[in-house]
Structure 1
Amino acid sequence: MLLRYAAPLTALLMTLISLPLSAETDEEESGSAELPEELMVQCLKIAAPGAGGELTIKQLRELCNTLAREDANQQDAVRRALEALSDEAEGKDNDSDPTGNSRILERRLGMEALNRANRFLLTPHRRNYLLPVSYQEGRNIEPYTQADSQLTDQKKIEVEFQLSVKILIREGIFGDNGHLYMAYTNHSLWQAYNEDISRPFRETNHQPELILSFVNDWEIFGFRNVLNEVMLTHQSNGQSGALSRSWDRVMVNTVFERGPFAFSFTPWYRLPESEGDGPDDPTGDDNPDIEKYMGHFELSGAYQRKENILSLMVRNNLRSDNRGAVELGWSFPVSSTTRGYLKIFNGYGHSLIDYDHHTTAVGLGVIFTDLF
């Protein structure tokens, strides 16, 4: 339900950032300010097509006025962050930088700035998708055998989905830059077609993060650096005993773009844990060798061709044994509101339970929030 109203609410905010920044009147200070009729008409024109039939004109007018009052303190920041989006809404061509390269990440960064100005919206973080068909060759049943679990009997086809959101904690820590977020990503593998053992979730990985994010606009070798982040990340499957997997990392993410191509480089440092007294000791390290398989960095790239987005992710441990992973993705339009998603993974770490198990997984479904 929340995502359904994201588009009209964002459209409303785009109208509101065009308001002149002037001294507040007594009426505004009392909390009863209303938009001038000319701006109200503009706001309604933008909001009405995506608002749904259950909202009346009166309710839309009230929403326009409410957003105008609540977001007055953030209009300046939103205006600066969304210059490109405002131009796009007026039909201007502002999709390229001075060198003629298309800025494919401009829209996403702009939308995130809009969400920061609206406390009723959660901002997508990583990709959000649902793959009703996820086929995995070479099932890893050893951990479940050790735990005496029914999941030793697995179907090769399961359901895979990911939910990833973030919320703003504090904006503009360093002047007009430096935004602190809390994020959460849930990646689940569900044996939905395995009715013999009551359709259990085979694995669920939880990844809460604290993120300090900086937008940027400088170039090197023709590539524009648009975003830099420092992240404190915990990842766990929420299990105990032989099935327990977890690790903590400090990560740095830097994002570049040039034309229809964007890439990010994310190295990390694993925070050390005590060895404990074995796998049954809850204070010990569940997976001391995880870096040998999951590597020390992740390199991701994406290329947009019309409405299609092709992506590549590579992880490597920089060792002679060459462990790591490769993931290919393709998202494509299915309808005006739906995009298809094909994902192919090969290597280690498709999930935490499989961090030391080499597998190939192919999934097909829909993606709700893409890279850009």
Structure 2
Amino acid sequence: MTRFYALVSLLLVCLGAAADDDKDTESSLSGQEMAECLKTAVSGASREMTIEDLREICRTLGQNQSQEEQSVLDAVQALSGDEQDDSEEEQEENDPSGASRLMEKRLNMEALNRANRFLLTPHRRNYLLPVSYQDERNTAPYAEAGSPLADLMSTEVEFQLSVKILIRESILGDNGHLYMAYTNYSLFQAYDREASRPFRETNHQPELILSFVNDWKIFGFRNVLNEVILNHQSNGQDGSLSRSWDRIMLSTVFERGPFAFSLTPWYRIPEDEGDGPDDPTGDDNPDIEKYMGHFELSAAYKRNDQIVSLMVRNNLESDNRGAVELGWSFPVSSTVRGYFRYFNGYGHSLIDYDYHTNAVGLGITFTDLF
């Protein structure tokens, strides 16, 4: 565990040190292209958005297109031996539009979609990992329940679907947006033909989110988002396989150039002890905080359209229980990105909340962090 936390600390330092070194390629739209984009954008914009907000969104969309074109030019320059030496720090200083603000881009895009009731806004990462491997499986809960899942394969399919919808907009002046969100995280024994390819675990996570955008600065970082969240998480099982808990969470998000991080502490809403695991009114997992911790720290760094992410959970106690997750996403096409994920610790899923897991997966993500 000492090496584990040393790795986490080193990565955080590296991400922080590199935060000033990156800058997205600034795009340029012609007057006609900007006008066409504004016509489309205004039909779905939320009521508090300004013309400049819509222009920034259009610049972002143009930038995404220009990045694909730039990758082709970069390849040609590499073959011809030409090199381009731009000062990324100077580009950021000369960028009054704030094009390098990663979270602001995402928030603007979400604001554009808020008024469109035919769209579901992505919440957490949406991804599919056709190959997810664990060196040792947690078979004990299934064996105790007499489930055929006591004989698990080490390789399975892992995926997550996460969306949110706007319930009420601008509760406090032009700020304070109320969302309802839902995240489905599933582990699918797709390669176990003898057991008829069962879903061994599905975690359901509905949330009620009160979100506030912000522009406060400290130590060069901008606080761009703050949220109050009512969170329920359950695996939908009964008896001894049932796992669930309810939390009140506070989340704050900061960014600086290509680097963003969030801190999310929580308070678990107490449950009655009940009369054992078969009592549906009792607490299925009274010791879950010892393993899942009391907070989550996440960080992400974007460079050359690749995103490296880190998640850390800890219970702030001497036994050093918690988890770390490393992610890397990279462009594959205009609609999907490659995604590599490594998880080490407790809480890979709710059924494994008290089991130490090493898991590695490779696949694609449909909606990324930003």
Band the TM-score falls in, shorter-chain normalisation: 0.7 to 0.9
Amino acid aligned to 2:136: G
Aligned counterpart, 1:132 = 130
**TM-score, normalised by the number of residues in structure 1:** 0.79
CA distance in 2, matches of 1:138, 1:264: 31
CA distance in 2, matches of 1:346, 1:174: 41
Aligned counterpart, 1:77 = 49
Residue from 319, 337, 341 that aligns with 2:339? 341
Are 2:343 and 2:359, in contact at CA under 8 Å, matched by a contact in 1?
Answer: yes
Are 1:77 and 1:176, in contact at CA under 8 Å, matched by a contact in 2?
Answer: no
> Identity of paired residues, percent?
71
Aligned counterpart, 1:33 = none
Are 2:44 and 2:114, in contact at CA under 8 Å, matched by a contact in 1?
Answer: no
CA distance in 2, matches of 1:226, 1:234: 25
CA distance in 2, matches of 1:197, 1:341: 28
Are 2:56 and 2:97, in contact at CA under 8 Å, matched by a contact in 1?
Answer: no
Q: Alpha-carbon deviation of 1:165?
A: 0.1
Q: Alpha-carbon deviation of 1:77?
A: 2.4
- Larger relative CO (CA 8 A, sep 6+): 1 or 2? 2
Aligned counterpart, 1:328 = 326
Aligned counterpart, 1:362 = 360
Per-residue deviation, residues 199-229 of structure 1 (Å, max 9, x unmatched): 0000000000000000011100110000000
Aligned counterpart, 1:104 = 102
Residue from 250, 253, 271 that aligns with 2:251? 253
Q: Alpha-carbon deviation of 1:335?
A: 2.1
* Runs of at least 4 residues off by over 3 Å: 78-83, 86-101
**TM-score, normalised by the number of residues in structure 2:** 0.79
Superposed, which structure 2 residues align to 1:161-310 within 5 Å? 161-310=159-308
Q: Alpha-carbon deviation of 1:138?
A: 1.3
Superposed, which structure 2 residues align to 1:22-61 within 5 Å? 43=36
Q: Alpha-carbon deviation of 1:367?
A: 0.3
CA distance in 2, matches of 1:78, 1:165: 25
Aligned counterpart, 1:57 = none
Aligned counterpart, 1:146 = 144
CA distance in 2, matches of 1:95, 1:164: 35
CA distance in 1, matches of 2:217, 2:343: 32
CA distance in 2, matches of 1:338, 1:78: 30
Amino acid aligned to 1:333: P
Are 2:187 and 2:199, in contact at CA under 8 Å, matched by a contact in 1?
Answer: yes
Are 2:44 and 2:113, in contact at CA under 8 Å, matched by a contact in 1?
Answer: no
Amino acid aligned to 1:85: I
Amino acid aligned to 1:346: N
227-236 or 107-116: bigger deviation: 107-116
CA distance in 2, matches of 1:89, 1:122: 19
Q: Alpha-carbon deviation of 1:334?
A: 1.4
Are 1:84 and 1:95, in contact at CA under 8 Å, matched by a contact in 2?
Answer: no
Residue from 310, 313, 318 that aligns with 1:312? 310
Q: Alpha-carbon deviation of 1:85?
A: 2.0
CA distance in 2, matches of 1:295, 1:212: 23
Q: Alpha-carbon deviation of 1:97?
A: 6.4
CA distance in 2, matches of 1:340, 1:90: 22
* CA pair 241-101 structure 1, distance change in 2 beyond 3 A: same
Q: Alpha-carbon deviation of 1:120?
A: 1.1
Per-residue deviation, residues 75-96 of structure 1 (Å, max 9, x unmatched): 5426464452245567899997
Matched pairs, number:
315
* CA pair 76-231 structure 1, distance change in 2 beyond 3 A: closer
Q: Alpha-carbon deviation of 1:107?
A: 1.5
Q: CA RMSD in A?
A: 2.7
CA distance in 1, matches of 2:195, 2:311: 34
Per-residue deviation, residues 147-196 of structure 1 (Å, max 9, x unmatched): 10000111100000000000000000000000000000000000000011
Are 1:96 and 1:103, in contact at CA under 8 Å, matched by a contact in 2?
Answer: no
Q: Secondary structure at the match of 1:197?
A: coil
Q: Secondary structure at the match of 1:121?
A: coil
CA distance in 2, matches of 1:95, 1:149: 60
Q: Secondary structure at the match of 2:49?
A: helix
* CA pair 280-80 structure 1, distance change in 2 beyond 3 A: farther
CA distance in 1, matches of 2:338, 2:163: 20
Per-residue deviation, residues 311-345 of structure 1 (Å, max 9, x unmatched): 00000000000000000000001123221000000
Are 1:164 and 1:186, in contact at CA under 8 Å, matched by a contact in 2?
Answer: yes
Are 1:312 and 1:327, in contact at CA under 8 Å, matched by a contact in 2?
Answer: yes
Per-residue deviation, residues 43-66 of structure 1 (Å, max 9, x unmatched): 4xx59xxxxxxxxxxxxxxxx79x
* CA pair 101-223 structure 1, distance change in 2 beyond 3 A: farther
CA distance in 1, matches of 2:128, 2:103: 23
Are 1:95 and 1:102, in contact at CA under 8 Å, matched by a contact in 2?
Answer: no
Q: Alpha-carbon deviation of 1:100?
A: 8.0
Amino acid aligned to 1:267: P
